[in-house]
Structure formats: structure tokens, C-alpha cells
């Protein structure tokens, strides 16, 4: 009997799922891919925070696991919200690909004036940069975003470098260094979620990468302590025991940033608590400005 692996239907989601199923196939485990449409895929005309945040890409797949329609689901780890339903397990976190963002543009970077992104974090970090730019909202899958760039609606758009690599895209532009353009927590990592059942979990354990799991758990601990929701412009990145966490004003005019050791969860939680305290006004200002209820 084959394992039913659920996924969203975008090219990127399918590429990530093929990475998981290929590894399982090499281990002699048969798989079947099941495509599930999520509210985040069906509603593309509004910002993510207005339809429930990153969790809108995950809930439909969670429900499918709990209802027994699939055995497991493949996600971009950054899409998985902090609060998780009972009965599920993040059974594997694959070795992390690039955590960086990539600014796609064919003109000289000095000529970039209009940049497309729907992320409040990316918006704030770009507005903080010395580039004299305007940032406009941009939703949709990678193909949709690239078509809008080609039509001249934007001079540049922001993509996750890991997504480009998984899709085999070699695009012109500029890699944004994660030390300054601090990524979203868990960016670049793929996670597998399954039923909280040892018999199911054991199929995926060989895919789990210890260092990546430790680093993304550090980042998630900071995220949980900071709170603020998906609307808050926040970057958190841990690599080789070094942690960077920041919260920005929506317009990039101000930010609070902590750089510290990132080896243990208790250290990460202390960083998150401190950052929440010093960035409280930035989090509240973002909530009010975007009309997000408490």
C-alpha cells in the first residue's frame, strides 16, 4: 500500500513534494501524490494577512491528514503556523536550501524603481535599503509574478532563492544577503507533516536533517515569543549557532535587532522575549496600520 502525500498544486509545491517522494522511492516506499487546493491558492487578490496569514496554505492539508484522506503533507516550513492541531507531527525537516531572498531584475539595480512583493517583511527591508524605490503588492505563484514582471508592471520582484533553485530557474538579479535582509523564520526549509502515529512517522525519519531541524526550532522559538502575527515585519535567521532577529516598522524607517548565540531553545526564547519588549510599539503600529484585530 502506498503512502498518500498531500500537496498544494503550484509548480513549487509539486517540486518540493517530488523531492520528498523521490527520497522515499529510493528507500523502497511507494507513494501517491494528492493535490489539495487551499484558501490561500484560491484567493490571490488580497494580502495574506487579510485572509488568515501563512496558515491558509496549511489548514486544508492538516484537515486532510486528520480526516484520513492523506497520510502526510509537504510544506514550506515557513508556512507552518506556531499553533498546531492535536494529532499531527512534523515528522521530517529536510536539509535546508538557501535561506536568502532574491531580487529578480533585468535592468541595472540603480534603475529599479518599482518592486513587487506582498510580504510586509520584504517591503520594510527594501524600504530600509538605500534604493529609491516604491514597493507594490504582488500575490500569486512564481509564474504569475514573473509574467507581471515581464509585462513591465514592476521593475523587480522578490522571490525566495530556494524556490528558484527547486524550480531550476536561473534568473537575472541580485541575491539579498540574509545577514541584512533577514529571512522569514524557517525560509528555505521543507517540512513533512503526518499523523502523530509511530507507524507513519517512521517512514519519514530518515529524511530528517538534525542541524536544520535544530536551527528552524530555534527560529520558531524566537517567533513564538515575539508573537505579533504574520502581519509583523519580522526576520529571524539562525545558522551555525549564530542568531539574528529583527522587527521593523512597515516603512523601514526604524527597526529593533538582536544578534546573539543561537544554540539552545532557552537562549532563543530569551532573545524572543527581549525583542518583543523592545519592539512592542513597532508590532502594535503594524497591527493598527494594517487593520488587524487583536
pLDDT of residue 81: 87
**Which member of 23, 62, 71, 79 is catalytic?**
79
Q: Which residues contact 26 (CB under 8 A, 6 or more apart)?
A: none
Mean pLDDT of 31-51: 66
Query: Cβ atoms within 10 A of the Cβ of 23, count?
Result: 17
pLDDT of residue 24: 96
Reported confidence tier of residue 40, pLDDT bands at 50, 70, 90: low
Burial (CB count within 10 angstroms: exposed 0-12, middle 13-18, buried 19+), residue 166: buried
Mean pLDDT of 41-49: 49
Please give the Cα distance from 164 to 203 (Å, whole number): 28
pLDDT of residue 58: 93
**Where are the domains positioned within the chain?**
1-94+189-208, 101-176, 209-294
Does 106 have pLDDT greater than 90?
A: yes
Comparing CA positions, the residue from 42, 18, 43 lying closest to residue 31 is 18
pLDDT of residue 225: 96
Reported confidence tier of residue 294, pLDDT bands at 50, 70, 90: low
Comparing CA positions, the residue from 9, 12, 5 lying closest to residue 163 is 12
Please answer whether residues 189 and 216 qualify as being in contact, where contact means their C-beta atoms are separated by less than 8 angstroms: yes
In this predicted model, what pLDDT tens digit does every residue of 210-248 receive, in sequence order? 999 999 999 999 999 999 888 899 999 999 999 999 999
Specify whether 79 is catalytic.
yes
Q: What angle do CA 177, 178, 180 make, to 5 degrees?
A: 75
Q: Do domains 1-94+189-208 and 101-176 have the same CATH topology?
A: yes
Give 46 or 28, the one with higher predicted confidence: 28
pLDDT of residue 291: 87
Does CATH number 3.30.800.10 belong to domain 1-94+189-208?
Answer: no
pLDDT of residue 125: 98
What's the DSSP call for residue 49?
Answer: G
CA 247 remoteness from chain centre: 16
- The proportion of the chain whose per-residue pLDDT surpasses 90, expressed as a percent, equals 86
In this predicted model, what pLDDT tens digit does every residue of 112-138 receive, in sequence order? 999 999 999 999 999 999 999 999 999
pLDDT of residue 231: 87
CATH number of 209-294: 3.30.160.40
Query: What does DSSP say about strands 234-239 and 242-248: parallel, antiparallel, or unpaired?
Result: antiparallel
Comparing CA positions, the residue from 184, 3, 176 lying closest to residue 76 is 184
Burial (CB count within 10 angstroms: exposed 0-12, middle 13-18, buried 19+), residue 191: buried
In this predicted model, what pLDDT tens digit does every residue of 7-27 receive, in sequence order? 999 999 999 999 999 999 999
CATH number of 101-176: 3.40.190.10
Average pLDDT, the chain: 92
Reported confidence tier of residue 50, pLDDT bands at 50, 70, 90: very low
Does 257 have pLDDT greater than 70?
A: yes
The sheet that has 190-195: what strands, in order across it? 31-35, 3-7, 72-76, 190-195, 88-93
Does 43 have pLDDT greater than 50?
A: no
pLDDT of residue 82: 83
Amino acid at each position: 500500500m502506498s503512502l498518500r502525500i498531500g500537496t498544494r498544486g503550484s509548480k513549487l509545491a509539486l517540486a518540493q513534494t517530488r523531492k520528498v517522494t523521490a527520497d522515499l522511492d529510493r528507500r523502497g516506499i511507494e507513494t501517491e501524490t494528492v493535490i489539495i487546493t487551499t484558501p490561500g491558492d484560491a484567493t490571490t487578490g488580497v494580502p495574506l494577512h487579510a485572509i488568515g496569514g501563512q496558515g491558509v496554505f496549511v489548514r486544508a492539508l492538516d484537515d486532510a491528514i486528520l480526516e484520513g484522506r492523506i497520510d502526510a503533507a509537504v510544506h514550506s516550513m515557513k508556512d507552518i503556523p506556531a499553533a498546531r492541531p492535536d494529532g499531527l507531527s512534523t515528522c521530517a525537516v529536510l536539509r535546508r536550501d538557501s535561506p536568502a531572498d532574491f531580487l529578480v531584475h533585468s535592468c541595472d539595480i540603480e534603475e529599479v524603481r518599482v518592486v513587487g512583493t506582498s510580504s510586509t517583511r520584504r517591503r520594510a527591508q527594501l524600504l530600509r535599503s538605500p534604493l529609491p524605490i516604491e514597493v507594490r503588492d504582488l500575490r500569486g505563484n512564481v509564474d504569475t509574478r514573473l509574467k507581471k514582471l515581464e509585462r513591465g508592471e514592476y521593475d523587480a520582484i522578490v522571490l525566495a532563492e530556494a524556490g528558484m533553485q527547486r524550480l531550476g530557474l536561473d534568473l537575472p538579479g541580485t541575491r539579498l544577503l540574509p545577514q541584512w535582509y533577514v529571512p522569514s523564520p524557517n525560509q528555505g526549509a521543507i517540512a513533512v507533516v503526518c499523523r502523530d502515529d509511530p507507524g507513519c512517522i517512521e517512514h519519514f525519519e530518515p529524511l530528517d536533517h538534525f542541524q536544520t531541524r535544530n536551527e528552524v526550532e530555534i527560529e520558531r522559538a524566537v517567533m513564538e515569543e515575539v508573537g505579533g502575527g504574520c502581519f509583523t515585519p519580522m526576520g529571524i535567521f539562525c545558522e551555525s549557532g549564530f542568531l539574528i532577529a529583527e522587527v521593523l516598522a512597515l516603512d523601514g524607517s526604524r527597526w529593533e535587532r538582536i544578534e546573539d548565540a543561537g544554540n539552545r531553545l532557552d537562549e532563543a526564547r530569551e532573545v524572543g522575549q527581549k525583542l518583543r519588549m523592545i519592539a512592542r510599539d513597532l508590532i502594535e503600529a503594524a497591527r493598527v496600520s494594517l487593520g488587524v484585530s487583536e
